[in-house]
Amino acid sequence: MKDDQYYMGLAIKEAYKAWEIDEVPVGAVIVNKNGTLVGTGFNQPISSTDPTSHAEINAIRQASQVLNNYRLVNTTLFVTIEPCIMCMGAIIHARIKRVVFGANDLKWGAVESLYNMANDTRLNHHPEIISGVFEEKAKKIIKDFFKNKRSK
């Protein structure tokens, strides 16, 4: 099986797909316990006119279809930026085993920055969290995207 950096690299490629369509560049992939890619996604809320069309949600939707199950047990979600409240809710409902993310999101993060939903004992599922994988690359993508938008 490939390592976390390999899969985060795939998530970064997904983030650039969002950038190409002028969406905030966040990308996500989901792999099963054997390391097989079962879902991919990137941010598309503007282009799809759907506020729930975050990278994580899109990857979860695809993985659920591929696995023919709304429960994604024994899967790992790799995402470039810390998931928001909505995405963490979906991750918990889907019973995703591990969440690996690149950079913190100080404005919306629901894993470490604003909230710590993965460790909230009131919830019935607690995914393992790994943060900081390709953190600088993930930060740079977001910073460069907004710098580019401001310069136009």
Which residues are known to be catalytic? 56
Tell me the torsion sign for CA atoms 61, 90, 128, 101: positive
Q: Which of 56, 125, 122 is nearest to 93 (CA)?
A: 125
The per-residue b/e assignment along 58-86, b for 16 or more CB within 10 angstroms, e otherwise, is: bbbbbbbeebeeeebeebbbbbbbbbbee
Which amino acid is located at 59 in the chain?
A
Of the chain, the end-to-end C-alpha distance in Å amounts to 43
